[in-house]
Amino acid sequence: MTHIDAGAELDPVHPVPLPASPSGRARGLSAAEVAQRVARGEVNDVPVRSSRSVREIVRANVFTRFNAIIGVLWLIMLFVAPFQDSLFGYVILANTGIGIIQEWRAKKTLDSLAVIGEAKPTVRRDGVAAEVSTSQIVLGDLIEIGPGDKIVVDGACVEADGLEIDESLLTGEADPVVKQAGDEVMSGSFVVAGGGAFTATKVGREAYAAQLAEEASRFTLVQSELRTGISTILKYVTWMMIPSAIGLVITQLVVKQNDFKGSVARTVGGIVPMVPEGLVLLTSVAFAIGVIRLGRQQCLVQELPAIEGLARVDTVCLDKTGTLTEGGMDVTEVRSLNGSDENYVRKVLGSLGESDPRPNASLQAIIDAYPDSEDWRCTESLPFSSARKYSGATFSEGNGEASTWLLGAPDVLLSDGDPALAETARLNEAGLRVLLLTRATKDLGDPAVAEGARPTALVVLEQRLRPDAADTLRYFAEQNVQAKVISGDNAVSVGAVAGKLGLSGAVVDARRLPTERAEMARSLDEGTVFGRVTPQQKRDMVGALQSNGHTVAMTGDGVNDVLALKDADIGVSMGSGSEATRAVAQIVLLNNSFATLPSVVAEGRRVIGNITRVATLFLVKTVYSVLLAILVVCWQVEYPFLPRHLTLLSTLTIGVPAFFLALAPNKERARPNFVRRVMRYSIPGGVIAAVATFVSYLIARHHYTGTGALAAETSAATLTLFLISMWVLAIIARPYTWWRITLVASMGGAFLVVLVVPWLQNFFALKLVGVTMPWIAVGIAAVAAAALEFTWRWVDRRIPA
């Protein structure tokens, strides 16, 4: 209801009333006053960041636990061994540089998209309203607000026109709070109905929401099974490395009486490959490139692993308006009821449209169809609310008579059994939206104003279907992702729209849904389309689906979707949606295209599937490195490799292939239990590779004698390990495509070049001696490859993922 403070505006810094305009409307600050506040630093300077700063990116990529380990070992090798044995350090430098550059590129993409998608509050200065960025608001600014607007700073209400604010994101209270002039408004809340203006009393880091979100506003992460799983794996690796490395150091430096530099080199050669140094890098790069690819499609990913999260979703809850249909509507006809005069009805509708300064899509269609009646004056208004499903206004007509009108949902405003409901149902079945115009007999401020209202006309609206909605729904159906349409509109009408888009299933009126969570979850599993859903019900429905084991994504664009978006596993907002929905969503579709969602799912599946592949590659190396160290300690022999050998092997069988595999297309459906799926392959693979390599090394030690024997032994062991690692790569690269076959063959060819070119032989200290031992090494590798093939196939059949 209207409550307009026609008095003066108060400056919170200098409590002297500022003059209002002659019309009684507060003028806001002058340009000079704004400049003074900027000079004093009284600006809303809280940084809005969609990503880490460049400094944080560099620190996160450089100062890691494993970089520290590798860095120390690299410095040691620079002093005690040839240049070739310190190559692994340069590889780490290159990897770190790639990680920094890719995340910096992703940051630029995120930041540029965030600027495009940033909502700009309307500030009144010198009596003129203009949009400014959030960071340009100063203390004492007069900020205008309407439905869907987020309160960006703390303030005191100056004007209120049926203003209702939802503070649930701050207080947990679900019911909107009616605000009057003088009431406090808190940043982080949002407008659900009505409009008004408030004066900024706290800006920047002093604002309530800024204090709550000081950490959350930084680079944040939704729950990521990939990141959590990799952290778990790295923790296990660290504990495996410590005793293995200590034993190796003692064996090579104390037990074996070799020269000091040679012992150090082989000790470092045993420790370095235990570290899966590229795994975290490739995960970050995969996410970063996903952000860049989606950014080109105008999709803002506000939290990086949201890409992964959407790929794991099995249920998508869709708001009809703005998601399946376009925002605009068209009035197709007006059907008079109870003998009402059609011209008079048009005049009422035109006046109702003019009475709301921030009309929703339905009212905007009425405004476009019917001009305002100049001789009618609005004396009181009731803005539309998703909770009550109607709006209203009181007019002083040209003849001096006063009348009160309501416009809203027929099944809410009419009593059961009213003849107009049957007509409404027929129109709804055709997919049309119907509003009822009624003349109220009670005052607009009466909570029971709808009771006894006289039906006057039905307003029939046609909704514009999004041309890409049907294809997107079909995509989700093919991917076994359930789609649930959850709308505040009439259930029959929503069901008809869903039917036009090829979405079949039971249509349910949400007013008949059970309130108990378990029973609601069962009803949701059985139904597909739900109408007359209140904002709180949307939130409850998301919770019920989650309680039944579903991973839920929620899409929407209106204030009635905010609570559900916040509680969903992944919230997706349209770029044209309200500021509040964009603020709580993890993904914002800036182009307002529902068809972008399959691209997000595809990126998520690419990241999950490919990181699972490359994680197996890295961890096979970690397992065989640890086991080789243990075998060396038990047998009291020299470690079979120098760092240069393992740098070559890692580059050809892991580093280069993993980079291409991590960024390749991958449409495999995302599956849970990342750690279990990776370890069930990497542990047997690593054990087979370690045992076969060590057997080959022991045979070579008996085969070769005299000067140069250690180099020949190392070459034979290296050949065995390379061939086994190539077979692991060949398995991981399946299913084969031309480029995957080319990739594997190129890595094999590169190793062959090293074996046949003399200066490369010398550089990597690799030279196969004789004929017998090299063929024995090949034979051992062939047996190990067969064992790998059998073991992994057995694991596939017997151990579920």
204 backbone φψ class: left, alpha, beta (φ>0; ψ -120 to 50): left
Burial tier of 754 (Cβ tally within 10 Å: 0-12, 13-18, 19+): middle
Structure tokens at 215: 């950490």
Q: What pLDDT does 199 receive?
A: 93
Amino acid 20: pLDDT = 46
**How would residue 757 be classed by pLDDT, with cut points 50, 70 and 90?**
very high
Does 566 fall in a domain? Answer: yes
Identify the CA nearest to 216 among candidates 184, 188, 176: 188
Note whether 518 and 371 are same-domain residues. no
Assess whether 426 and 357 both reside in one domain.
yes
Where residue 123 sits, what CATH number does that domain have?
2.70.150.10
Alpha carbon distance 646, 725 (integer Å): 11
Classify residue 66: in a domain, yes or no: no
Q: Containing H/E element for 328?
A: strand 325-336
Same domain for 624 and 745, yes or no, is yes
127 and 141 part of one domain: yes
- With 80 as the cut, is the pLDDT of residue 145 above it? yes
pLDDT at residue number 699: 94
Tell me the torsion sign for CA atoms 235, 236, 241, 242: positive
Lowest pLDDT segment from 186-200, 257-271, 312-326: 257-271
End position of a domain, from candidates 190, 212, 234: 212
Residue 564 sits in the same domain as residue 521: yes
Give the phi and the psi of residue 183 in degrees, each rounded to 5: -75, 150
pLDDT beyond 50 at 9: no
Q: Can you say how many angstroms the Cα of residue 94 is from the centroid of all Cα atoms in its chain? A: 29
Same domain flag for 201 and 231: no
Of the three residues 565, 592, 619, the one that is the final residue of a domain is 592
Q: What is the pLDDT of residue 51?
A: 59
Separation of alpha carbons 38 and 489, rounded Å: 46
Query: Rounded to an integer, what distance in angstroms lies between the CA atom of residue 414 and that of residue 452?
Result: 9
Q: Would the pLDDT of 574 be above 70?
A: yes
Question: Out of 149, 166, 319, 567, which one is annotated catalytic?
Answer: 319
- What is the pLDDT confidence band of residue 24, given thresholds at 50, 70 and 90? low
473 & 576 share domain = yes
Rounded to an integer, the average pLDDT of 72-84 is 82
Residue 403, beta-bridge partner list: 395
196 and 233: one domain? no
What's the confidence (pLDDT) of residue 14?
35
Residues 398 and 531 in one domain: no
pLDDT at 157: 92
Q: Is pLDDT at 2 greater than 70 in this prediction?
A: no
- pLDDT for residue 223: 58
Q: Which of 210-214, 505-509, 615-619, 712-716 has the lowest average pLDDT? A: 210-214
Highest mean pLDDT among 166-175, 381-390, 784-793: 784-793
Asked if 729 contacts 747 with a C-beta cutoff of 8 angstroms, the reply is yes
Does some domain include residue 99?
Answer: no
CATH number, domain at 363? 3.40.1110.10
For position 1, what pLDDT does the model report? 35
146 and 270 co-located in one domain: no
* 611 φ/ψ angles, rounded to the nearest 5 degrees: -65, -35
**Active-site annotation holds for 319:** yes
Mean pLDDT, residues 625-638: 88
Terminal C-alpha separation, the chain: 59
- Give a yes or no: residue 677 inside a domain: yes
Higher per-residue pLDDT: 700 or 311: 700
pLDDT at position 257: 53
| Averaged pLDDT score across all residues of the chain | 82
Domain match, 368 and 415 both? yes
Q: Does 342 fall in a domain? A: yes
Adjacent-strand bridge partners of 350: none
pLDDT value of position 732: 92
How many domains does the chain divide into? Answer: 4
740 falls within a domain: yes
Backbone angles phi, psi at 572, to 5 degrees: -125, 120
| Whether residue 640 has pLDDT greater than 60 | yes
Range of the domain at 11: 2-42+119-212
Please check whether residues 519 and 417 belong to one and the same domain: no
Give residue 211's pLDDT band: very low, low, confident or very high (50, 70, 90).
low
Is the pLDDT assigned to residue 12 strictly greater than 80?
no
Q: Which of 561, 592, 623 is the last residue of a domain?
A: 592
- Binned at pLDDT 50, 70 and 90, residue 718 comes out as very high
pLDDT of 751 strictly over 70: yes
Share of the chain above pLDDT 90, in %: 16
Measured CA to CA, the distance from residue 428 to residue 420 in angstroms comes to: 12
pLDDT at 48: 53
Q: Does the pLDDT value for residue 219 go beyond 50?
A: no
Q: Identify the band that residue 450 occupies on the pLDDT scale cut at 50, 70 and 90.
A: confident
Q: What angle do CA 668, 310, 558 make, to 5 degrees?
A: 150
pLDDT band at 788; cut points 50, 70, 90: very high
Mean pLDDT to the nearest integer, 399-403? 78
pLDDT for 787 beyond 70: yes
Q: What is the pLDDT of residue 742?
A: 95
Mean pLDDT of 468-477: 87
Name the β-bridge partners of 180. none
Does residue 435 lie in a domain region? yes
Residue 73 in domain: no
Least confident of 7-16, 20-29, 122-131, 647-656: 7-16
The full length of the chain comes to 801
606 vs 327: which has the higher pLDDT? 606
Do residues 616 and 682 touch, judged by C-beta distance below 8 A? yes
- 478-531 per-position pLDDT tens digit: 888 899 998 888 888 888 888 888 888 888 988 889 988 889 999 998 899 998
Q: 188 pLDDT exceeds 50?
A: yes
Band of pLDDT at residue 156, cut at 50, 70 and 90: very high
CATH number, domain containing residue 517: 3.40.50.1000
